[in-house]
Amino acid sequence: MKFLQAALTGMLLGGLHALMAAGLSLSWGVLRIINLTHFGLILLGAYLTFQIASSWHIDPILTLVVTVPVLFAAGALLQWGFDRLAVTELNSLLLSFGLLIIMVQAVSNLWTADFRQMAIDVNPYATGSLSVGRLVFPSTTLIAFALSVLLIGAGHQALQRTFIGRALRAFAMDRTVAAAFGIDHRRISILLAGIAGGSAAVAGMLFALSTALTPFTAFEWFGIVFAVVILGGIGNVVGTLLAGLLVGALSSLASVIHSPATEPFVVFSLIVVALLVRPQGLFARAGGH
C-alpha cells in the first residue's frame, strides 16, 4: 500500500517537473536554444507569487494573473535578444548561464538569500490534502499535477491543431523551408519563448505553494529537469510529461523501498539504461528532430 501511495504521490509531483521541463524542451527543440534562463524565470515567478500574495493577501493561484503576462514578456524579450545575437546551441547554453547568474543574484538582492515562505494564512494549500480511501494526496501536488496536465495537454493540442502550432512544428523540422512558406521565424520564436515564460510563471507559483524559497535553489533543479527533458525527447511536450511522471514515480518508490539517499542513484541509473536502449528518448517519436 505504501508503495502505491509513494508511486502515486511521486507521479503527481513529477507533473511539476514536467511543467518546468516542457518550456525548456520546446525552446530547445524548436528554437535550438538551451535556455537556462528558463530556471531564472521560474525562480522569478516563485518570488513574485510570494511577494504579491503576501503583500496583497490574495490567493497565490490568483497571482498568475500578474505573473504570467510579466514572464511572458520577459521570455519574449530574452528570445528577442538571443535572436539578434544569432547564437549557436552550445553558446546559447553559456550565454543563458551568464544571464541566469545575473537573475539569481538580482533575486537575492531584492529578497535576500533568507528563506521566504508564504505564511499559512496566505497559503492554505501548503498543509491541505485530499483523501481517497486510504490514499492521501497533498493539495499542492494535486494542483501541480492538474495544472501541468492541463497546460501540456493544451500545448500539445495547440501544436497539432492550430495554424501557429503547425507553423511551430514546421519551423522545428526545417527552418529554411518553413521560412520559404512565409513563416516569420522571428515572430514565431518570440511567441514560443513567451509561452515558455508563461509556463515558467505557473511552475514558479507551484513552487512557492509548496516550499520555502531561496534564490540559489535554481541551480539545484538542473539535474532532474534536464533528465526529464532528454528522457521525454527534446521538443516533445507529451513525452516530457510522461517522462516527468515516470521519473517522479520512480524517485518516490526508490525513496520508500530503500532510502532517500539512493533516489538519485536509482533514477539516474534507470535513465542511463533507458537511453542506451532507446537513445532518441523514451517517448520520442521515431525520426524526431
Question: Which of the residues 13 through 42 are near other proteins (CB under 8 A)?
Answer: 13
Instruction: For residues 6 and 9, give the distance between their C-alpha atoms in angstroms, rounded to a whole number.
Output: 5
Q: What angle do CA 183, 228, 217 make, to 5 degrees?
A: 105
Rounded least distance, CB 8 to other proteins, Å: 10
Rounded least distance, CB 181 to other proteins, Å: 16
Our CB check for other proteins shows the closer of 163 and 276 to be 276
Rounded least distance, CB 88 to other proteins, Å: 5
97, 164, 170, 185: residue in contact with other proteins (rule CB under 8 A): 97
User: What is the identity of the amino acid at 173?
Assistant: M
Q: Which three cell numbers stand for residue 128?
A: 491541505
Residues 101-120 that bind other proteins (CB under 8 A): 101-102, 104-106, 108-109, 111-120
Rounded least distance, CB 169 to other proteins, Å: 19
Our CB check for other proteins shows the closer of 44 and 191 to be 44
166, 262, 282, 283: residue in contact with other proteins (rule CB under 8 A): 262
- Does position 221 bind other proteins by CB under 8 A? yes
Residues 37-96 that bind other proteins (CB under 8 A): 85-88, 90-91, 93-95
Consecutive H or E run containing 131: strand 129-132
Residue 84 burial by Cβ neighbours in a 10 Å radius (0-12, 13-18, 19+): exposed
A 10 A CB-CB count for 258 gives 12
Here's the x/- map for other proteins, 130-159, by CB under 8 A: it reads as -x----x-xxxx------------------
Q: Which three cell numbers stand for residue 174?
A: 526545417
Our CB check for other proteins shows the closer of 98 and 153 to be 98
Residues 266-285 that bind other proteins (CB under 8 A): 267-269, 271-272, 275-276, 279-281
Determine the size of the site formed for other proteins (CB under 8 A): 89
Our CB check for other proteins shows the closer of 142 and 158 to be 142
Residues 228-247 that bind other proteins (CB under 8 A): 230-231, 234
Instruction: For residues 264 and 250, give the distance between their C-alpha atoms in angstroms, rounded to a whole number.
Output: 10
Cα–Cα separations (whole angstroms), residue 108 to 45, 133, 265, 289: 14, 43, 31, 38
Our CB check for other proteins shows the closer of 40 and 198 to be 40
Cα–Cα separations (whole angstroms), residue 41 to 76, 210, 221, 258, 283: 11, 17, 13, 35, 27
Closest CA to 218 of 47, 83, 2: 47
Q: Which three cell numbers stand for residue 108?
A: 537575492
Residues 163-192 that bind other proteins (CB under 8 A): 176
